[in-house]
Amino acid sequence: MSEQTLLPDDWDVPASFRQRLGTEIGRQRLMVADQQLLLVLHAPPAANDNTRKGRLFWRDVLGEWSSSEPSEGIQTIQSHLENYEAVIDELDRLEDAATTADRYFQILERLMPLERSSIHLYEVLQEARKECPECREIIDFRDRAYVIKRTAELLLAATRNSMKLIVVRRSEEHAKASHKMAVAAHRLNILAAFFFPIITVTAILGLDMPRVLQIVGIQLTPDTAAKVVPLMFIVLVLCCMGIGWQLMRIINRPSRKR
C-alpha cells in the first residue's frame, strides 16, 4: 500500500485517483477518469462502529475489475454485496426471534448504520451506471444493491414497529398493575377510615366501661352497672361506626371540578 493513499501500489490508476484519495476512506463515492472507474465503498458496519472499513474496486480501461480485498475479477463486488445480504439475513432472523425491547434495541444498533451504508452503496452504483451505461455487470450490481437497500429499509421499519409495540404493551401492563395497586390502596384507606374512630376510642378509653365511668366521676351500683354498661358499649360502638361511615363518605366523595 502507498503511504500517501489507500490504493495498492501495483494499480496503474489515473493520477487523479491517488490525488483525490487520502489516507482515510471517507464517504462512499465514485471516481471517474480516463474511462476508468474507482468505487470507494464501505464494508458492512458493525454496531457502535465509529470508523468504516473501506473497500476499493477499480475497473480499468479493458473492463477488468480489481479490488483491495483478496478476491479479484467481477467476483470482488459480488462478494461485497453478499456480505451485506448475509448481515441483513442474520438480522432478519434475529428480528423474528426477538421478544423483548432490549433485543430489538440491539438489532437496531446494528441495523441503522447498515441501512445508511446500503443507501449510499446503491447511490454510488447508480452513479456508476450513469457513467458507464454499456457495462452490464454494473446494472446487475445496481439492481442488487437496490434490493439490499430496500430490504434494509423494510427490516428497519419492521424492527422499530415491533419495538414500539413491545413498549406499548409493557406500558399497558404497568398501567394495569398501577391501577390495581391504586384500587387496593383505596380499599385499605376506606377500611382504615371506617375503623379509625373505634380504634382511637378503644386506645384512649379501653373496653373496661365501669372503669371509664369511674374516671369521669360516675359511680354506679353493681346492679345498675350490669344494666347500663352493655347499653353504653353498644351506643359507643354505634357512634364510632357512624363517624367511620362519615369518614368513608368523605374519602369516596368525588373531587369538585374547578
pLDDT tens-place values along the chain, 258 residues long: 334 568 888 888 898 888 888 788 889 999 999 889 999 999 999 877 778 889 999 999 888 888 888 777 778 889 999 999 999 999 999 999 988 888 989 999 999 999 999 999 999 999 999 998 888 899 999 999 999 999 999 999 999 999 888 888 888 888 888 888 888 888 888 888 778 877 777 776 666 666 666 666 666 667 776 777 677 777 777 888 888 788 777 777 776 655
On whether both 228 and 108 belong to a single domain, the answer is no
Based on the number of CB atoms within 10 Å of its own CB, is 62 exposed (0-12), middle (13-18) or buried (19 or more)?
exposed
On whether both 87 and 190 belong to a single domain, the answer is no
On whether both 103 and 153 belong to a single domain, the answer is yes
Residue 176 domain-assigned (yes or no): no
Q: 24-41 in b/e burial notation, b at 16+ Cβ within 10 A?
A: ebeebbbbbeeebbbbbb
On whether both 167 and 222 belong to a single domain, the answer is no
Residue 36 domain-assigned (yes or no): yes
On whether both 101 and 19 belong to a single domain, the answer is yes
User: Which range marks the domain in which residue 241 is found?
Assistant: 181-252
Look up the pTM and report it.
Answer: 0.69
On whether both 166 and 186 belong to a single domain, the answer is no
CA-nearest of 247, 239, 241 to 189 is 247
Please answer whether residues 161 and 98 qualify as being in contact, where contact means their C-beta atoms are separated by less than 8 angstroms. no
On whether both 202 and 159 belong to a single domain, the answer is no
Counting the structural domains of the chain, the total is 2
State the cell numbers at 147.
434490493
On whether both 147 and 71 belong to a single domain, the answer is yes
On whether both 109 and 217 belong to a single domain, the answer is no
On whether both 101 and 152 belong to a single domain, the answer is yes
On whether both 66 and 155 belong to a single domain, the answer is yes
Residue 1 domain-assigned (yes or no): no
Which of 131, 152, 171 lies at the terminal end of a domain, its last residue? 171
Residue 30 domain-assigned (yes or no): yes
Based on the number of CB atoms within 10 Å of its own CB, is 77 exposed (0-12), middle (13-18) or buried (19 or more)?
buried
